[in-house]
């Protein structure tokens, strides 16, 4: 995205994460050859792209009262820790985070139009 946020600053896209050891990619980085190109004899695995702008899925409890705030990398780390997402029957996924992550409670109509 090349538009300015209400703050006047353009968002930085995407926030890079390291791929997990199980082969799931939780970042915008992709290899130059896909798994299908490397192993054409195997069935193609479905893929899901998660575009994360903030909100509930990006929130982590912080501080002594457990207040919530968007945290970079939080969703990708949670997804990596979920055994059910590592099942071969599940689609591969990629999480792309926008920077800065936005707290949906603080968003205004200008933010929605930007997204």
CA distance 25 to 28: 8
CA distance 53 to 56: 10
What average pLDDT values come out for the chain (115 residues) when binned by 10 residues? Answer: 53 54 46 51 83 92 90 96 94 93 88 84
Residue 1 confidence (pLDDT): 44
Residue 2 confidence (pLDDT): 43
Residue 101 confidence (pLDDT): 92
What are the C-alpha distances in Å from 91 to residues 6, 27, 55, 62, 97?
36, 15, 23, 31, 19
Residue 35 confidence (pLDDT): 52
Residue 107 confidence (pLDDT): 87
């Amino acid at each position: 995205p090349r538009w300015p946020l209400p703050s006047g600053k353009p968002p930085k896209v995407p926030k890079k994460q390291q791929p997990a050891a199980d082969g799931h990619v939780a970042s915008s980085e992709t290899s130059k050859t896909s798994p299908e190109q490397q192993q054409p004899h195997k069935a193609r695995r479905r893929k899901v792209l998660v575009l994360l702008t903030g909100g509930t899925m990006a929130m982590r409890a912080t501080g002594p009262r457990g207040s919530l705030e968007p945290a970079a990398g939080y969703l990708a780390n949670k997804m990596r820790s979920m055994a059910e997402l590592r099942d071969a029957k599940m689609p591969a996924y990629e999480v792309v985070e926008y920077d800065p992550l936005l707290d949906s409670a603080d968003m205004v109509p200008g933010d929605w139009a930007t997204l």
